[in-house]
Amino acid sequence: MIALGGTIGVGLFMGATATIKWTGPSVLFAYAIAGFFLYMIMRALGEMLYVDPDTGSFAKFATEYMHPVFGYLTAWSNIFQFVVVGMSEMIAIGEYFKYWWPTLPGWVPGAVAITILVLANLISVKMFGELEFWFALIKVVTIILMIVAGFGVIFFGLGNGGHALGLSNLWSHGGFFPNGWMGFFFALSIVLGSYQGVELLGITAGEAEDPRPTIVKAVKDTVGRILIFYVGAIFVIVTIYPWNQLSNIGSPFVQTFSKVGITFAAGLVNFVVITAALSGANSGIYSASRMVYTLANARQLPKAFTKLNRHGVPFYPVVSIGFGILLGVVLNALLPLIYPAASNVFVLVYSSSVLPGMVPWVVILISEIKFRKVHADKMAEHPFKMPFAPYSNYLTLAFLALTLFFMILNPETNISLLVGVVFLAIMTTIYFVKHNKQPIIDHTTEKFEE
């Protein structure tokens, strides 16, 4: 459920029209193809976790099987990604609450929400898991209801006077690829961005009660979840509505529920996207705080960040990540008063998380190749090996590289890609200037070695 909650974000509920406008109905292929390669990434991670489940695992794998600088970059990329996403989720919550209370200052719901989430994360890992379970469940139920209602409209004419809509909207408005292959490839970066967070499975593995069967089940279910929740929901949207009219109807989810007679759909979906935003921030606090803890264990942050509270939770990492997200809420409230264009700057920073968000995926794929050589004796009896490795690794890496290439060509994403490149360059420089000669942790013995 944590992996599922990390994958299903606000982007699916409110941002579907953005990807559809670039590629039309063929966005279905984009989600399916990206989902396939995401499954390959998760299988590579699952193979390594089965042998060595550990908190902060993919940063640890990058350190052990590539170079410590990649473990450092993976951890900081994860922190950067989830703090920025957390900021956006809290700001979004402020906007969502205006549906019911239009005069409520946007920073109030965000500040209250982040305070509650930080306290919940400090109480126990179990509390985090309980919250994420219910947040994910609300999203899952909503999407299933939307798909069922949509199929009723498409095949049985539910809410349409008994006249089935059929599938003609998939090709009747400029074809399945109305904007050509260029639009299709442009959409891949946003589609991949919507999947970022599924690697949370790797961070939670070390704290699962029985990690091996949990890891296998969660990874195996990934493809099914993607097909049902992403491809299924997008199929309903582009089949019911002409793709070139979506920008005029508001949220496709609201309209689909309204079409079948659920008149309170707008309020219902507003509630769901609030829980989706809470889920995103909740997952972000958990994930980023564990990465801060990993960096502190490697003596790349002050020792205080390794302190656990009486509930066994890393206290200072959770508080510091919560403060970083809260800072975004404060800045969003104050900066527009000084700089009217500040909101555009925030959007730019948010979209810059796409490249850093790919870093864990790249290091997982590369680390798994070396992992197989190091643990060759365990591969023969391994029950959960990466399919077709290492060729599947190379193919997936090529797909990610292709997506970045089209981000350069797309005028709406090239600046955000540059911001991600600058961030990674800065963190690489900091590592080699400040941390390159520090002792690193040997995780097999938990002792420090030069």
Q: How far apart are CA 370 and CA 386, in angstroms?
A: 13
Q: Please enumerate in sequence order all residues whose Cβ is within 8 A of that of 88, keeping only pairs 6 or more positions apart, or say none.
A: 328, 346, 350
SS3 content of the chain, % helix, strand, coil (to 5): 75, 0, 20
Phi, then psi, of 263 in degrees rounded to 5: -70, -20
Q: How far apart are CA 266 and CA 255, in angstroms?
A: 8
Q: How far apart are CA 359 and CA 8, in angstroms?
A: 20
Domain ranges of the chain: 2-399
Place of tokens 């900081």: 76
- Inform me whether the pLDDT recorded for 345 exceeds 80: no
- pTM over 0.85? The answer is no
Q: How far apart are CA 141 and CA 5, in angstroms?
A: 12
Higher-confidence residue of 448 and 214: namely: 214
- Inform me whether the pLDDT recorded for 365 exceeds 70: yes
**pLDDT tens sequence across 143-198:** 888 889 889 989 998 877 888 889 999 999 999 999 888 989 988 888 888 788 77
Q: How far apart are CA 76 and CA 386, in angstroms?
A: 26
Q: Which of 167, 177, 144, 195 is nearest to 32 (CA)?
A: 195
Q: Which of 391, 360, 390, 392 is nearest to 373 (CA)?
A: 390
CA atoms within 13 A on the CB side of 10: 21
Interior CA angle at 242 toward 239 and 244, to 5°?
135
Q: Which letter does DSSP use for residue 243 in this model? A: G
Q: Which of 36, 33, 324 is nearest to 181 (CA)?
A: 33
Local confidence band at 449 (pLDDT 50, 70, 90 cut-offs): very low
pLDDT at position 442:
38
CB atoms closer than 10 angstroms to residue 53: 19
Amino acid (one-letter) located at 444: T
CATH of 2-399, one of 2.40.30.10, 1.20.1740.10, 3.40.50.9100, 2.70.150.10: 1.20.1740.10
